[in-house]
Amino acid sequence: MPRSGNKERSPALYESILQLKNMEECQAFFDDLCTVGELRAMEQRFDVALLLDQGLVYTDILEKTGASSATISRVNRIFSFGKGGFSTAIERRKKAEKK
């Protein structure tokens, strides 16, 4: 199992997410898994990533999302120093939208 910090990561969560078939199943799963605050934070971070990818500046992103400058900066750093997850998801989303 891959390690995250000092604890082993369980693949069960990620494998289960991959088995979900549609938006309704996905939303229901995350509604059961996370608190409202956790979901809003994740949604906001991804919205910030989408806007950064579109080339928007911090002030515009703050206005559109309500995210703090610290959150925007943190998400921006992920594009340079993360593992590529945001970039992969965004590129696949763009391809799906073109179809």
CATH architecture of 36-99: Orthogonal Bundle (1.10)
Give 56-95 pLDDT, tens digit per residue: 999 999 999 999 999 999 999 999 999 999 999 999 999 9
Give pLDDT, residue 35: 98
Do 59 and 73 form a contact (C-beta atoms < 8 A)? no
| CA dist 98 → 22, 47, 83, 93, 94 (Å) | 19, 19, 25, 9, 6
* C-alpha of 23 from chain center: 15
Confidence of residue 1 (pLDDT cuts 50, 70, 90): low
pTM of the model: 0.86
Give 35-50 pLDDT, tens digit per residue: 999 999 999 999 999 9
What residues does each domain of the chain span? 1-33, 36-99
Q: How far apart are CA 22 and CA 65, in angstroms?
A: 25
Two tokens at 20?
């979900």
